[in-house]
Structure 1
Amino acid sequence: MRADKIKTIIGNINDLPYKTILFDGTWGVGKSYAVNEALAGNPDVCKISMFGMTDARQIYHEVLFQLALKNNVGGKIGEIANNIIEGAAKVWDKVGQARDVVQNIANERELFLLLSKEFTFLHIVVIDDLERMNSNMNLEEIFGIIEELKQCNYVKVILVANTAEMSKDKKEIFDKYSEKVIERTYAITERAESVEWSKLHIHAQFIEKFLNLHKVENLRTLEKAQRFYDDVILFCEDCNKDEFLEELRLICYAIVVESTHNLYYKEDDPNNTDSVKKMVSSIENTLEHRIGKYLYGTKSSNNLTGMLLRYYQEGTLDKEQLEAEYRLFLKSGDKPNYYKTDAEIKVMLPDLKKGLLQAKNIVELNEFADSYMVWSDILEEDNEDVLTIYKNGLNKMLKQAVRDGKEEILTHSYDLFHMSSDKVKIIYMEENENMKEFLIETYVEHLRITTHGEKAYQFSYKLRNYFSNSYYHEIIMTKVDQLYNKTSFPVGDVDQNRYHTCYNIMYLLYHADKEKFLNYCTDIKKDCDKMSRHRIEVLSEEIMKDQKT
């Protein structure tokens, strides 16, 4: 049965001969959504979720406040207003007696049962998430409460559950007692045919087209996909072309839906002995390949899909990289590159080259270079000049990143940028490796000139840490002698920052060549004042002590 049939059933609940009914179906199919829609605006409804409830008697608390006392806020019985106590006194002869009852939480059941005798029209109790009840709760006791509620005057109970997800012990009790308490069970197996998507903040035209192609029954998954898209567009302040945002939304939905439900995953055929077919099947079953089945005809690159999948799985998204993908999208024209003719690709290449020349950061540079090389290689175009442009631009940007103290970029492999062109990958890794020597040269040159300031301290601290790295160690050993000068020692004008910078440099010199370092300290102390000598001795002793420990 489709979930939208729930509205029809509840719409006729006055005429139904049943006092207790159950809507049973898989999570996310829209049971609760349909029940809430059917009962919207009805003031004589009490909605209870078993999720988080610790005591079955809380059911009486909720029905008392929501149905009998019409106070949806709830609260302790002893705090209800005088007019409610006076209303309760209509059941008892004396207000005092009523006050005594409501002051005792154990009497919530008794109070509701008495007040319900005054009901003259239907009141509905909805108990949702039955399968999510606390493991310590007694399902048999809950069935007893449901049985007692349905015996009340003008009260009917609607249960909502996914009994397939009940724990084994709870399911045994359910099977044993449900027939005695539940008079009719409706199996909800399909999502509602008609859903008010706007209430779920989902674009109706988009989702109807999406569901026509991809059979998703779980409304919660679709809500989750929409929230992921809403998350991603927070990074898209400057990406205002509707076509791009539509593709972005499709990618987000594809990632969430396929990651959750594996709609396009195919079980291996145990009878298949063909190694080639097995390999093809394995490739087709990768998540990236399955997500691609949602994206036929889109203009966005595989890089964008990979980037968003990584964000979904790991929570890492580079805004600059996303904006670079947007600019690539704008330059790709009116249809996906994959479907273009040779002539159309040739027309596009100059724009990609221009984007490469105008790239503002490494992310953009890599994106434009990679895209240019992929399509120009397919056309067998000569692209050596573009590779040179890319190499020079990358070299310049990496050097600037090092000078700015942002050398963490050197730890990023080409995988981070989702590159496809082997030519671009090779150049990126070569320049990345070459830049490590430039990094050490930059730090040493700066410290050779000055050890004052925060930048000098940061450079010295990083050099000291890199000294234990096998790759950097060899480079530092070839450069460290340049630091043998008075600037590297706490001589003359010294503040706390420079003092720690000198310690880091002296640490390097000592560990690079202990004998040379000690001899230099002896010589330099001859030409400096007493406080400078004292500082050199203190730091030297500390460095040697650290080595012993």
Structure 2
Amino acid sequence: MKANEIVTVLNHFNWSKYRRVLIDGTWGIGKTRYVSEFEKDQSHVSYVSLFGKKDIDSIIQEIYFQIIEKAPLGMYKKSYRVLREKFKNVTFRYQGFTISVPLIEDLHKSLNKELGSKGTYIIIFDDLERKHHNLKITEILGLLDSLSKIENIKTVLIAATDQLKGKDKTTFIDYKEKSIDRTYKIDDYADNAPVDILGKQIWEVIGETAKNFDFKNLRTFEKTYMFIKEVIQILGKDIFTDKFTRDDLYRMCFASVFFNIEHKNEMRLLDTEKKDSDLRNADLRNAVYKGSDSGVIAYLYEYILKKNMDNVMSKNVFHHIKNWYVTGTYSRDDILSVIASINSFEEKPGNFYSSEKEILKMIEHTKAYILHLNGTEKVDDIINHLSIAFFWCEALSVDFGMSNEGVLKNIKGNVSNRIELEKSQYQNEVDIFFHSESKKVGELTRAINDTIKMEYQKQLIQKIKDCYIEKTYQVRYLRELTDLVNSIYDQSNRTYILRSLNEHQYFFPIPSGNINENFWFWCIQIKLLVSAIEARWGVENYSNDFKEYLFKLDEIEEDRLLKYRLKTLFER
């Protein structure tokens, strides 16, 4: 049954012989929405959510006050204080004895008498699975049974029984047959629900993608809609062009929400898509296990969106969108900068319909562009230019005339200007999955990333040196270097780092006299860095040499507090 049929079921319930019915369906399928549609503006229906309810008393009170609120204006003039006093006389019993709810029965009779009506009054109980653990399932079922024995009162229980756990689940199964006359199973959301939530424009873009996956949670669409509106409100509507399209933004927002909510940030489809190579799957998994955003984005692009985007360059915005949804943090300036580079990118006449002369001219133009870089151009833009040129060089069997080494030599300034030490080394790298369509471009991107890593590490060492000399002791830079030790394989980089440590006395400030917390944490982190280098680079006796250097300092013998601090440091 589809969720929208709930309204029909409840309308029929008015005159049916059933007195206690269950509407069962998984979370987010639309049960509450259509129950609310039925209940709205109807004086003969009360709706009670069991969410967080700890006892029957609070439920009884809510029913009582709802009946009063829905009664004709001025019909009940007793104060809430008096009504609450009456609740003290209410007693509840179940299994082997009965539940007495005289107040509700009297109130209902009084209402019918006043209105001259014998019509059915329906009480709907929602969110069974979200009740407080102190409230027993038997109490709820007993209340429903007791209420339904009152003349002209019927009860509806709304639940996602698949969410009941442990004793609650067992108890519900045991007593369901005695307590429920009829069960309606909601196994699909209404056909028009996604359109109603997202609007026709958004649904037309993501509809086919969504239909590829078997999920019933309408909240995924609701969260997608809200996220899209948030992103557009922050970034503005003027960002969209024929290069960075509104549709691509819709797709990236949906994929980010879907992956987070439906797949719990797990790459589940890698095990089901056997047509892709095992190596490709392994690359994606490894990227994610290493904390790589690129692996996740490649997965979202290839497996969720099925490579369906208007402009492949828009993938450069994808990790910003995904992280925005997951963490709630974003840099508007960074995102707008990437979008601006996409919108300003001028693809030289090198497409399928161009003449050979035009294509050759474009290739030469790209080469000249690389030779005359001024260091301010974005590395991703440079790679995009080269991607197009390399493609047509291969198609026409033309030599580009510049090796990867030549390209790397010319983009040194651009790489240097790209480095942001406030970000991790990984965040500074070019996303290899965005440039993997061509083998040659992939190789160049990897080489550029190697250059970025070396430059990042050199700038990181220089920053650590500055902190040491200026005595600012910003420990985060030391932590970053320590974390990188295990992934630094280039011998020249290792030599550079070791030489820097040697030339600056391990960057270790002597902890004598009055010091602060940052100072001491810096000392601890230097010791961790030295230990990591010895263990992971195989530098024999490096930690021992560091320790001997410190304890041979002249001031050690004269400063008992310093000696104690060093002893504490090496006993950690």
Common topology (TM > 0.5): yes
**Identity among equivalent pairs (%):** 21
Q: What CA distance in whole angstroms lies between the structure 2 residues aligned with 1:309 and 1:239?
A: 21
Once the two structures are superposed, the pairs formed by residues 124-273 of structure 1 within 5 Å of their partners are: 124-167=122-165, 169-195=167-193, 200=197, 202-208=198-204, 210-211=206-207, 214-215=210-211, 217-230=216-229, 232-233=231-232, 236-237=235-236, 240-241=239-240, 244-257=245-258, 260-261=261-262, 265=269
What is the deviation of 1:219?
0.9
Equivalents in 2 of 1:516, 1:264: separation in Å?
A: 52
Aligned to 2:64: 64
**Which residue identity lines up with residue 472 of structure 2 in the other structure?**
Y
Q: Counterpart of 2:144 in 1: which secondary structure?
A: helix
1:372 aligned partner: 385
Tell me, in whole angstroms, the C-alpha distance in 2 between the residues paired with 1:176 and 1:191. 28
Partner residue in 2 for 1:292: 305
Q: Alignment partner of 1:457: what SS?
A: coil
Q: Helix, strand or coil: the match of 1:367?
A: helix
1:248 aligned counterpart, secondary structure: helix
CA distance in 2, matches of 1:9, 1:65: 26
Name which of 443, 448, 451 aligns with 1:422. Answer: 443
Match among 104, 111, 114 for residue 112 of structure 1: 104
- Comparing 302-311 and 365-374, the one that deviates more: 302-311
Q: For residue 258 of structure 1, report the CA deviation from its aligned partner.
A: 5.3
The offset of 1:257, in angstroms, is 3.0
Q: In structure 2, what is the equivalent of residue 77 of structure 1?
A: none
For the structure 1 residues 29 and 357, does the alpha-carbon distance in structure 2 shift closer, same or farther, using more than 3 Å as the test? farther
Which residue number in structure 1 is paired with residue 27 of structure 2? 27
Q: Does 1:457 align with 2:472?
A: yes
For 1:166 and 1:467, the matched residues in 2 are separated by: 47
CA 252–111 in structure 1, closer or farther in 2 if over 3 Å, else same? same
**Alignment check: 8 A CA contact 1:254 1:294 kept:** no
Taking the aligned partners of 1:28 and 1:320, their CA distance within structure 2 comes to: 35
Counterpart position of 2:294: none
Rate the CA distance shift 1:35–1:407 in 2: closer, same or farther, 3 A: closer
Number of aligned residue pairs: 483
State the alpha-carbon separation in 2 of the partners of residues 396 and 375 from structure 1.
Answer: 24
Q: TM-score, normalised by structure 2?
A: 0.65
Equivalent residue of 2:156, what SS?
strand
**2:21·2:155 contact (CA, 8 Å) conserved in 1?**
yes
Residue deviations 1:28-50 (CA, integer Å, cap 9, x gap)? 22111111122222344322222
Check whether the contact 2:248–2:309 (CA below 8 A) recurs between aligned residues. Answer: no
Aligned equivalents of 2:81 and 2:49: distance in 1?
A: 28
- Counterpart code for 2:220: T
How far is the alpha carbon of 1:101 from its aligned partner? 2.3
Structure 1 counterpart of 2:217, which letter? Answer: N
Corresponding residue SS for 1:126: strand
- 1:258-337 superposed matches below 5 A: 260-261=261-262, 265=269, 279=278, 288-293=301-306, 295-309=308-322, 319-331=332-344
Q: Which amino acid aligns with 1:206?
A: I
| Pairwise CA distance, 1:466 | 6.8
Show the counterpart of 1:94: none
Contact 1:69 1:84 in 2 (8 A): no
Report which stretch shifted further, 417-426 or 367-376.
417-426
- Structure 1 residues 48, 435: closer, same or farther in 2, change over 3 A? closer
For 1:84, what is the secondary structure of its paired residue? coil
Cα distance in structure 2, aligned partners of 1:312 and 1:264? 20
Given the superposition, is the C-alpha separation of residues 126 and 308 from structure 1 closer, same or farther in structure 2, using an over 3 Å criterion? same
**CA radius of gyration, larger in:** 1
Q: Per the alignment, do residues 348 and 189 of structure 1 end up closer, same or farther by CA in structure 2, a change over 3 Å counting?
A: farther
1:177–1:467 Cα change, 3 Å: closer
2:425–2:453: 8 Å Cα contact kept in structure 1? Answer: yes
Q: Distance in 1 between matches of 2:268 and 2:467?
A: 57
Give a deviation string over 1:425-464, Cα, whole Å, max 9, x none. Answer: 31332243145345545765898xxx6xxx5534899689
Q: Which residue of 1 aligns with 2:292?
A: none
Indicate the SS of the match to 2:42: coil
1:208 Cα shift? Answer: 4.9
Q: CA deviation at 1:64?
A: 0.7
2:331 and 2:462 map into 1 onto residues whose CA distance is: 29
> Per the alignment, do residues 441 and 310 of structure 1 end up closer, same or farther by CA in structure 2, a change over 3 Å counting?
closer
| Conservation of the 8 A alpha-carbon contact between 1:387 and 1:424 | no
Q: Secondary structure at the match of 2:135?
A: coil
- Asked whether the 8 Å contact 1:299–1:329 carries over to 2, the reply is no
d(CA) in 1 for partners of 2:313, 2:497 = 44
Letter of the structure 1 residue corresponding to residue 176 of structure 2 = S
Cα distance in 1 between the residues matched to 2:177 and 2:551: 89
Q: Which residue in the other structure is 2:78 paired with?
A: 84
Output the CA distance in 1 between the equivalents of 2:111 and 2:31. 28
String of CA shifts for 1:508-549, please: whole Å, max 9, x gaps: 9x9879789979x79xxxxxxxxxxx9x97997678666776
Could you list the per-position Cα deviations for residues 451-507 of structure 1 after superposition, in whole angstroms to 9, with x for gaps in the alignment? 6xxx553489968997997988954664578779xxx999xxx9999xx79x98xx9
**CA distance in 1: counterparts of 2:177 and 2:481, whole angstroms:** 72
Change (3 A) 1:478 1:213: closer
SS in structure 2 opposite 1:22? strand
Q: Say which is worse superposed, 26-35 or 460-469, in terms of deviation.
A: 460-469
Output aligned runs, 1:380-395, within 5 Å.
Answer: 380=393, 381-382=400-401, 387-395=408-416
Q: CA 1:252/1:539 → structure 2, altered by over 3 Å: closer, same or farther?
A: same
| Post-superposition CA distance 1:246-268 (Å, at most 9, x none) | 31122221333356557994976
TM-score normalised by structure 1 residue count: 0.67
Q: 1:542 to 1:407 in 2, by over 3 A?
A: farther
- Determine the structure 1 residue equivalent to 2:439: none
Q: Which secondary structure state, in structure 1, belongs to the residue aligned with residue 101 of structure 2? A: helix
Counterpart residue number, 1:7:
7
In structure 1, what is the Cα distance between the partners aligned to 2:104 and 2:165? 31
One-letter amino acid of the structure 2 residue matched with residue 204 of structure 1? K
Whether the 8 Å CA contact 2:3–2:190 is kept in 1: the answer is yes
Matched-pair contact (CA < 8 Å) for 1:3–1:34: yes
Mind listing any 5+ residue stretches in structure 1 that lack a counterpart? 72-81, 89-97, 270-274, 523-533
Q: Post-superposition shift, 1:63?
A: 0.6
Deviation at 1:109, TM superposition (A): 3.2
- State the distance in 2 between where 1:317 and 1:86 align: 49
Amino acid at match of 1:207: W
3-state SS of 1:436 partner: helix
Matched residues in 1 for 2:163 and 2:460: separation?
A: 58
CA distance in 1, matches of 2:17, 2:380: 67
* Cα separation, 2, equivalents of 1:142 and 1:467: 58
Change (3 A) 1:294 1:437: closer
| Mapped contact 2:55–2:135 kept (Cα < 8 A) | yes
Q: Which runs of 5+ in 2 are unaligned?
A: 93-99, 113-118, 286-298, 394-399, 436-441, 531-543
Q: 1:55 offset after TM fit, Å?
A: 1.8
